[in-house]
Amino acid sequence: MSQVIAFDFGLARIGVAVGQAITQTASPLDTLKANDGVPNWTQVEILLKHWQPKKVLVGEPFNMDGTDQEITLRARKFANRVHGRFGVQVEMVDERLSSAAARDELFEFGGYQKIKKSQVDSIAAALILESWFSNQNS
């Protein structure tokens, strides 16, 4: 497996990152705009054709106690649609605290005032991907 793409699902924005399984590195890509959780599917198709991932990861948001959030079912539905539309293997990944960690990381590199929400979403997707790589090694 070489390329892996991760999505940090949201109702207004969907963060995207690509990773390389050999080096186990992740890089944030441009964030997709979404309308009530629905992306421009053509943009998703372009991403998948360009990167040709062997696997797609979708962040699965849980409450801190492990229970589902209101958005958890929407993220699963998005993952099912990605699989159904494009025939790629999709795996859900626990994303607890990924957005908070992304904000912390951005703050560390330039101050919170300069942070764009779209950067937070794509960095969160990269953190989801890095977490997945780390769990693959365990």
- 115: tokens are 């942070």
Helices and strands, counts by H and E, the chain:
4, 7
Cβ contact 15:120 at 8 Å: yes
d(CA 2, CA 14): 23
Decide which of 48 and 98 is more confident. 48
Taken in order of first residue, the domains within the chain and their CATH numbers are: 3-137 (3.30.420.140)
Rounded mean pLDDT of the chain? 85
Which pLDDT tens digit goes with each residue over 35-79? 999 999 999 999 999 999 999 999 998 877 888 888 999 999 999
Query: What's the pLDDT tens digit per position in 77-89?
Result: 999 999 999 999 9
Average pLDDT over residues 121-132: 88
* Contact call for residues 45 and 53 (beta carbons, < 8 A): no
Does 97 have pLDDT greater than 80? no
Segment holding 12, helix H or strand E? none
